[in-house]
Structure 1
Amino acid sequence: MSHPSALRVPITISQWFDGHGRTILIASHDIFRIIVRFTNSLLTFTTIKTNCQKSETIIQKIRWLRSAAAH
Structure 2
Amino acid sequence: MTHQYRAYLVGENGVFRSAEAFEATSDDSALAFARQFTRHGKVEVWQLGRKIAVLDAAQSWPSPPRQSRSTLTRQ
- Specify if TM > 0.5: no
TM-score tier (shorter): under 0.3
TM-score (norm. length: structure 2): 0.27
Query: Which structure has the greater CA radius of gyration?
Result: 2
Identify, as 1 or 2, the structure richer in helix. Answer: 1
